[in-house]
């Protein structure tokens, strides 16, 4: 056990926390153990806005024809940080426009579905020693087919090469399989299908759920949590190779002694 075992034994682990550790153990320590103040970034704020607007739609608080206006009205309230500079594209304009296009062309009719859950947190025990939490964006039941469908909204663009796209979807599906498991534990409902909604591409990727795959995902999650519980060094990401991430995305960069001495 690490020197922080008394803390890590009492953390409720999430997919996001576990992948933060895989990406940069130092970021995990600063975020979940030291609980340092976080800095926001425009990409994360844009993602929160998209989730907020879709949550309002599926909760039947706004109608389909009001989505684009509601998005425009809320944009400056949610996205307060500047987008990073880019030599090829005005990121601020590009993100704003992609969200506006998405909600202007939106044609997903919620009336074809029974709304089962919207952004509900699920606390669950992965093992007797590992507490976990999941927060699926949306679960719907298709009224015609009776299928249960788990949706997740992603604001990253779809990767452009086949290999990169397969890796991107495989990473997202790992999160979804964990959520299927958590949802089943809580409700005893088996999710039949996962749909990953690529907002900025206006494309929905669909995959049927394989429950054997879920077993592999839970094994990965448990092994990674055990690594967190044993960790002693909390080594940082290779800053030289990941300058953009450290400078503009990492939410604990202001507290990172490695980045600040770089």
List contacts with ligand SF4 (CB under 6 A): 24, 26-27, 30, 236-237, 239, 245-246, 250, 252-253, 256, 258-259
Q: CA 201, CA 159: separation in Å to the nearest integer?
A: 10
Q: Helix 67-78 to helix 91-104 angle, to the nearest 10 degrees?
A: 150
The minimum distance between CB 159 and ligand SF4, in angstroms, equals: 21
Q: Which is nearer to ligand SF4, 108 or 258 (CB)?
A: 258
Q: Which is nearer to ligand SF4, 21 or 148 (CB)?
A: 21
113: β partners: 142
Q: Which is nearer to ligand SF4, 53 or 237 (CB)?
A: 237
Q: Do residues 148 and 189 touch, judged by C-beta distance below 8 A?
A: yes
The minimum distance between CB 171 and ligand SF4, in angstroms, equals: 17
Q: Which is nearer to ligand SF4, 30 or 68 (CB)?
A: 30
Nearest-CA neighbor of 201 among 149, 159, 249, 150?
159
**Distance between start and end Cα atoms, the chain:** 30
Q: Which is nearer to ligand SF4, 11 or 199 (CB)?
A: 11
Q: CA 64, CA 106: separation in Å to the nearest integer?
A: 7
- The DSSP H or E segment spanning 101 is helix 91-104
The minimum distance between CB 201 and ligand SF4, in angstroms, equals: 26
The minimum distance between CB 30 and ligand SF4, in angstroms, equals: 6
The minimum distance between CB 97 and ligand SF4, in angstroms, equals: 29
């Amino acid at each position: 056990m690490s020197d922080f075992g008394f803390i890590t034994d009492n953390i409720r682990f999430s997919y996001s926390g576990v992948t933060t550790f895989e990406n940069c153990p130092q970021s995990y320590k600063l975020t979940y153990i030291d609980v340092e103040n976080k800095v926001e970034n425009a990409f994360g704020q844009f993602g929160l806005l998209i989730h907020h607007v879709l949550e309002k739609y599926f909760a039947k608080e706004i109608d389909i024809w009001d989505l684009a206006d509601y998005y425009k009205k809320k944009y400056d309230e949610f996205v307060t940080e500047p987008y990073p500079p880019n030599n090829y594209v005005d990121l601020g304009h590009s993100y704003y426009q992609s969200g506006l296009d998405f909600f202007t062309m939106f044609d997903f009719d919620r009336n074809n579905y029974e709304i089962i859950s919207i952004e509900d947190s699920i606390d669950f025990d992965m093992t007797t020693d590992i507490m976990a939490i999941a927060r699926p964006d949306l679960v719907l039941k298709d009224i015609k087919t009776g299928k249960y469908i788990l949706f997740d909204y992603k604001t990253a663009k779809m990767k452009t090469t086949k290999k990169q796209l397969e890796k991107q979807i495989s990473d997202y599906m790992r999160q979804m399989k964990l959520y299927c498991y958590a949802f089943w534990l809580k409700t005893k409902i088996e999710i039949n299908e996962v749909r990953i909604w690529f907002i900025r591409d206006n494309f929905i990727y669909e995959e049927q759920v394989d429950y054997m795959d879920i077993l592999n995902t839970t094994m990965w999650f448990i092994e990674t949590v055990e690594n967190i519980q044993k960790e002693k060094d909390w080594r940082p990401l290779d800053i030289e190779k990941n300058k953009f991430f450290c400078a503009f995305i990492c939410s604990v960069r202001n507290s990172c002694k490695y980045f600040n001495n770089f």
